[in-house]
Amino acid sequence: MSEVKIISETAEENELVIVLDFGGQYKELIARAVRNLGVKSLILPGNTPLEKIKTLAPVGIILTGGPDSVYRKDAPRCDKSVFELGIPVLGICYGCQLLAYISGGVVAPGEHSEYGRTQTRVDPTSELFFGLEPEQIALMSHTDEVKTLPDGFRNTASTSACRNAAFESAERKLYAVQFHPEVENTPNGTAIMKNFLYRVCGATGDYTISGYREAMIDAIRSQAPEGDVLLALSGGVDSSVCAALLGEALPGRVHCVFVDHGLMRQDEGDEVEAVFSKREVHFIRVNAQERFYGKLAGVSDPEQKRKIIGEEFIRVFEEQARRLTGVRYLAQGTIYPDVVESGGVNSAVIKSHHNVGGLPADMEFDAVIEPLRGLFKDEVRALGRELGIPESLVSRQPFPGPGLAVRIIGAITAEKVALLQKADAIFREEVAALPQNERPDQYFAVLTDTKSVGVTGDFRSHGYTVALRAVKTTDFMTAQAHELPFALLTKSAERIVNTVPEVSRVVYDVTGKPPATVEWE
Ligand code: XMP
């Protein structure tokens, strides 16, 4: 396979709002608020080149807040021409000051910093405040303020401490608010965002999960009018949702190859099988544990383990793919951040092995189908729920491709896998009982190669040490140890040593990333 055309007709046709990031802590909230209002959004760095913005053809641009002062020499700025594209702009906090500063207004420190919920008087004749009462509560968080408006702008809101709490040039479609409409502490913030999107940008709200489902099903049908589709199903969220969507679009024509390398979490392979063997897809589970354990026997070097698993995965997948006839398309669960991060928003081709999980070099496909190409992770999860995939699968945390092999220090044996699966299941069960907002972003158990002395009843034991790991992170590039309740840790430890007799000690990993990584290997 050389280069294959990716077809995803509707995926990138939605109206888009670009969120230009100036370092504000609420950028994700802004992006999410926009998407929740039915408009696709994308966060890009504040200094994104104008050409890129033009190519993406957004219906609106939002400038986020940020900790800097716009008048400082090295402060982050956007291209001045962003304000001359004729595309509506909404500046929030730092973004509001930047809009004023670049357009010729004066920004300077206010007499007082203004923090918290603040009584704000707005002008309902502004499109931004359409339908609102003049007296509003808004969340303020600033020291600098816009002292003088640029020419051609009019004031549309104020507070007792901040004269220019909002201003605009409706003619040029430039709007700015010093406060934060994206947070709950601005009770009518959603209405303000909605006014911007629908009244100013003219958005139609074409970005809903159920709408996406219908549109994608139609698109997949026209993309693959005849012939079968092959998908490597990992059991992760993206490939699972992709499989369910394809199954609905092309019943009986989708082959999902699920390679169980014997390094999944407890019962995971069976859960995936239970979900997909009931769907309109040809589900092929390859139980390749023995094969993987055989190749991994005696290997303790982490990189070597990863390499062996990667290669063996390709071999197994290859063998299965060759047995199928009539396959004309390859499907992938690529999602929007994958596309953007690889710089490929507008690229229509991929390299043969990108994200495919290993394919025979001589396999020919007419095209690659990527139905989730326009979605963010939380939207993939929402689509999964919409498609009736069980919550346990939809809300699954990230899991490395090499699986438990990188969570067992030293050589892998079937016995070690089995006892780690048990310990890990106990820890995950305890953490899952926490309220959603208190749960870590990733949490699991690790089987170390340290054995230590313990006492069981009247007997001395000499068992494994299990380490528990739980991290807070948004991007997984950096992470902090999650402060789990001490009682949860001790209860997990107690349950683990009581249930898994080979384990005599449980420790908690409190290292951040850097210097450690999330996984132990
Ligand atoms: P590290 O250990 O590098 O992990 O701090 C960061 C995130 O990536 C996951 N991870 C992997 N995911 N294949 C994957 O698909 C891998 O080989 C792999 N190694 C680490 C890890 O679980 C964490 O979420």
Sorted by where each begins, the domain ranges of the chain are 14-200, 209-394, 413-509
Q: Answer whether 14-200 and 413-509 agree in fold.
A: no
Segment holding 200, helix H or strand E:
none
Residue 9 — very low, low, confident or very high, per pLDDT cuts 50/70/90? very low
405 C-alpha to ligand 1 centroid (Å)? 12
402 lines ligand 1 (CB under 6 A): yes
- Pocket test of ligand 1: the residue of 263, 355, 518 to mutate, having most ligand atoms within 8 Å of its CB, is 518
| Percentage of residues of the chain with pLDDT beyond 90 | 73
For domain 209-394, say whether CATH 3.40.50.620 is its number: yes
Dist. CA 399 → ligand 1 center (Å): 7
Q: What is the pLDDT of residues 145-185, one digit of tens each?
A: 999 999 999 999 999 999 999 999 999 999 999 999 998 88
Band of the pLDDT at 8, cuts 50, 70, 90? very low
Q: What is the pLDDT of residue 12?
A: 56
3 state DSSP class of 319: helix
The contacts of residue 4 (CB under 8 Å, 6+ apart) are 330, 349, 350, 352, 365, 367, 368
Give the integer Cα–Cα distance in Å for 35 and 17.
9
Minimum mean pLDDT among 11-15, 71-75, 453-457: which range? Answer: 11-15
Residue 42 neighbours by CB under 8 Å, 6+ apart: 16, 17, 18, 19, 31, 56, 58, 336, 340
Question: Catalytic site residue 255?
Answer: no
Closest by CA position to 323, among listed 389, 257, 407? 257
Q: Which of 304, 406, 444, 476 most suits a substitution to test ligand 1, by most atoms within 8 Å of the C-beta?
A: 476
**How does the average pLDDT of the chain come out, rounded?**
90
Q: What is the DSSP letter of 195?
A: I
Q: Could you tell me which residue, 345 or 211, shows the higher pLDDT?
A: 211
Higher pLDDT residue, 384 or 347?
384
For residue 232, give the 3-state DSSP assignment.
strand
Contact, 357 vs 267, CB < 8 A? no
Q: Residue for token digits 């991007």?
A: 475
CA–CA separation, 68 and 65 (whole Å): 9
Better-scored residue on pLDDT, 207 or 448: 448
Residue of 519, 520, 521 to test ligand 1 pocket, by largest number of atoms within 8 Å of CB: 519
Burial class (CB in 10 A: 0-12, 13-18, 19+), 401: middle
How many Å apart are CA 193 and CA 131, to the nearest integer?
A: 12
Is 89 or 345 the better-scoring residue by pLDDT? 89
Q: Which CATH architecture best describes the domain 14-200?
A: 3-Layer(aba) Sandwich (3.40)
Two structure tokens written together for 110: 């206010």
DSSP state of 198: I
What are the distances in angstroms from CA 502 to CA 266, 407, 505?
17, 17, 10
**Could you tell me the fold of the domain covering 413-509?**
GMP Synthetase; Chain A, domain 3 (3.30.300)
3-state secondary structure of 446: strand
Residues in the chain: 521
- Is there a contact between 255 and 243 (Cβ–Cβ < 8 Å)? no
Work out which ligand 1 atom sits closest to the CA atom of 479.
5
pTM of the model as a whole = 0.71
pLDDT of residue 356 exceeding 80, the answer is no
- Is 180 a catalytic site residue? yes
Q: What pLDDT, on a 0 to 100 scale, did the predictor assign at position 313?
A: 86
> 442 C-alpha to center of ligand 1: Å?
10
For the cut 90, the answer to whether the pLDDT of residue 430 exceeds it is yes
DSSP 32-92: HHHHHTT-EEEEEETT--HHHHHHH--SEEEE---SS-TTSTT-----GGGGGSS--EEEE
Instruction: Given the residues 78, 93, 162, 256, select the one marked as catalytic.
Output: 93
Q: Taking residues 262-282, what's their average pLDDT?
A: 93
Please report the pLDDT score of residue 364 as a whole number.
73
| Tokens, residue 104 | 């010729």
The protein residue whose alpha carbon is closest to atom 21 in ligand 1 is: 400
